[in-house]
Structure 1
Amino acid sequence: MLVPVLEKLFAQKLSIHQLGNPALRAIAQPIANVRDRQIQKLIDDMLVTLKESKGVGLAAPQVGQSLQLIIIASHPNDRYPHAPQMEPTAMINPQIIGHTQDTEKGWEGCLSVPMIRGLVPRYREIEVEYLDRQGDRQVIKLTDFVARIFQHEYDHLEGKVFLDRVENTLDLASEEEYKKLWQ
């Protein structure tokens, strides 16, 4: 049991691929063995990467792994000062199994698309199914900002970035101009 503890101690920040890298456009593959040590290490490394990058979500394709794994970790920060607080959650082989028809446009950014924000329409409430890092099936409802994070990260598993969902180029802004909107 000492090996998993040591692996967590040696979790490292991974490089985040930027827009234009083909890894961001690949369709992610399901994970067959959730308990595989390499998968567990990837989860730990992604948690470190997300924390050090001050993001609220991260998908495995963003760190060069074409696997169906996302981390959701909503918390208030400079990029999203009104985000709700939640514990970081690893979601393996996630699926949207239901959603309301009600959508809302909201500002999104991405660690893989730095310095750009866009207004993106998303479902306000979704029901998702996934495996947790122990391999147990979970079904939960997500709403508002956390639902937006999930849908954003889920898009990465399908080879999409938020820019693909922006309806009009007038709905884009630089990070600097976006900050002025909220001051």
Structure 2
Amino acid sequence: MITMDDIVREGHPALRKTTDEVSIPPQQEDKQILEEMLEYLRNSQDDEICDRYGLRPGVGLAAPQINVLKRMLAVHFTDQNDRLYSYGLFNPKIISHSVERSYLTSGEGCLSVDREVPGYVPRHRRITIKAIDLEGQEVKLRLKDFAAIVFQHEIDHLNGVMFYDHINQDNPFKEPENAKPIDR
């Protein structure tokens, strides 16, 4: 079981590295790691398990955050329409995105960042991604608003990018142009 002790923090070199593609079909070891990442997210959203193991709640986790430099991510959350997104994905790739942007009005957080980082993080409002799921099937997901933000945050981790790299350093709360604010 993954716990907060397994999650590397800001400053760890793995968080700034570009990750390697996972060979398809995935090895059993890679599937196991990805299943454990998804399990962490489910556990982190259960108050009792959170308290017992000292977990921080999360909606997404990328492999570099547990010091695994492979293109794997897990997400587990519901969007504003109560649609559940619960995926473990290998080699996710954004294949298209909107010009229109969005941002979370509350800002973004990260399991690897133990501090508040104030500011708006501009993201594409809509994206389409392709990936391989835990069953080895290719999936194509069209995402918008909060779901698109979560996936972009995690895919950034696979490229060594942290969410605060996107914040306007001179004016952190400057509303991004052509962007829809998302309350969460």
* CA-to-aligned-CA distance 1:53-85 (integer Å, 9 cap, x gap): 310100000001000001111248xxxxx6955
1:68 maps to 2:71: yes
Cα–Cα, structure 1 residues 161 and 83, in superposed 2: closer, same or farther, change >3 Å?
A: farther
Contact 1:34 1:40 (8 Å CA) reproduced: no
Instruction: Specify the SS of the correspondent of 2:84.
Output: coil
Contact 2:103 2:149 (8 Å CA) reproduced: no
Letter in 1 for 2:122: P
1:88 maps to 2:86: yes
Structure 1 counterpart of 2:112:
112
* CA-to-aligned-CA distance 1:25-46 (integer Å, 9 cap, x gap): 1111000044421112101211
Instruction: Specify the SS of the correspondent of 2:8.
Output: coil
CA distance in 2: counterparts of 1:145 and 1:97, whole angstroms: 18
TM-score (norm 2): 0.78
CA distance in 2: counterparts of 1:74 and 1:169, whole angstroms: 32
CA distance in 1: counterparts of 2:128 and 2:151, whole angstroms: 10
Letter in 2 for 1:104: S
Looking at both structures, which has the greater relative contact order when contacts are Cα pairs under 8 Å and sequence separation is at least 6? 2
1:41 counterpart (29, 32, 37): 32
Structure 2 counterpart of 1:156:
157
Distance apart, 1:119 and its partner CA: 1.2
CA distance in 2: counterparts of 1:71 and 1:34, whole angstroms: 17
CA distance in 1: counterparts of 2:9 and 2:90, whole angstroms: 23
Letter in 2 for 1:65: V
Where do 1:18-37 residues align within 5 Å? Answer: 18-37=9-28
* CA-to-aligned-CA distance 1:122-151 (integer Å, 9 cap, x gap): 000001000011111111100000100000
Distance apart, 1:169 and its partner CA: 5.3
Contact 1:34 1:133 (8 Å CA) reproduced: no
Contact 2:2 2:40 (8 Å CA) reproduced: yes
Letter in 1 for 2:67: G
* Gap regions ≥5 residues in structure 1: 1-11, 77-81, 173-181
Regions of 4+ moved over 2 Å: 48-53, 82-85, 168-172
* Gap regions ≥5 residues in structure 2: 45-55, 174-182
Aligned residues: 157
1:99 counterpart (94, 97, 100): 97
Cα–Cα, structure 1 residues 169 and 56, in superposed 2: closer, same or farther, change >3 Å?
A: farther
Contact 1:95 1:128 (8 Å CA) reproduced: yes
Contact 1:74 1:83 (8 Å CA) reproduced: no
